[in-house]
Amino acid sequence: MRFIHFSPQQPIGYAEGLLETKQVGIRAPISVQTTKSRETSPHQLFLMSSTRILRIASRAQPSAIFRSNGLRSFTPRVAPTMSATSANCFSTTSRSLSADKDGQEAAHHEESFEEFTARYEKEFEQVQDVFELQRNLNNAFAYDLVPSPSVVVAALKAARRVNDYPTAVRIFEGIKAKVENRGQYDQYLEELKPLREELGVSLKEDLYPEAK
């Protein structure tokens, strides 16, 4: 927009006519109509977008999304593998369960006195420290029987080997507590006397006479 300068020689009507001319020049209904005629209505846009969507949908192949070939190839691969694996697992588990069952039967097998004696003689012969000695003694005296003199001999030698004199004295205390009467205890003392004197093991009643 330009500024209009008025001179004293020009009448006012001239300026008014110029303004009218400028106003007429600003108005351009033809150009506006032309622009409007080129615009697309919302209804036409909806029709065009719907047509494009239909075209894209018709071009898309369902097999690319839902791969039936992949599903067919996936099913046979899994089925034989699972069946073979299941067969192997069941057979292995069956063997292991039978092995465990046999082990439990062996554990619950009633051990004879001779087997008990042989087992603990071997256990005491392999003792290398005080912990193993006391553990085997606790296990041996936990049964509802009195260990044989041969087991006591092995235990006394193990106590001497690990240099555990107090435990050697307690072995005889355990025998005294397990036997039914004093006569059985005396029989143990008589049979074990040579080894007891050799190892220098005293009895509790000899160490503490007042405790008799």
| Angle subtended at Cα 106 by Cα 103 and Cα 112, rounded to the nearest 5 degrees | 160
As a whole number of angstroms, the distance between CA 116 and CA 131 comes to: 21
Return the percentage of the chain with pLDDT > 90, whole number: 45
Instruction: Return the HEC string of 143-167.
Output: CCCCCCHHHHHHHHHHHHHCCCHHH
Give yes or no: residues 98 and 128 share one domain: no
Q: Is residue 2 part of a domain?
A: no
Residues, the chain, total?
A: 212
Reported as a single tens digit per residue, the pLDDT across 135-153 is: 999 999 999 999 999 999 9
Q: Are residues 198 and 133 in the same domain?
A: yes
For residue 109, what pLDDT is reported?
73
Q: Show the domain range for 191.
A: 113-211
Q: Which residue has the higher pLDDT, 172 or 75?
A: 172
Residues 6+ apart with CB under 8 A from 126: 132
Matching residue, tokens 């005080």: 130
Residue 163 lies in a domain: yes
The CATH code of the domain that includes 118 is 1.25.40.40
Q: Is residue 122 part of a domain?
A: yes
Residue 79 binned pLDDT confidence (cut-offs 50, 70, 90): very low
The answer to the question of residue 58 being in a domain is no
Same domain, 123 and 180: yes
Q: Are residues 202 and 123 in the same domain?
A: yes
What is the C-alpha to C-alpha distance for residues 6 and 12, in angstroms, rounded to an integer?
Answer: 8
Same domain, 105 and 46: no
Residues 103 and 175 in one domain: no
Whether 138 and 168 map to the same domain: the answer is: yes
Both 182 and 202 in a single domain? yes
Look at residue 4 and tell me if it is in a domain.
no
Is residue 5 one of the residues assigned to a domain? Answer: no
pTM flag (> 0.75) = no
Name the pLDDT band for 209 (thresholds 50, 70, 90). Answer: confident
Question: Does residue 39 sit in helix, strand or coil?
Answer: coil
81 and 41, same structural domain?
no
Looking at the fold, whether 203 and 119 belong to one and the same domain comes out as yes
Residue-wise pLDDT tens digits, 56-65: 545 545 444 3
Number of domains in the chain: 3
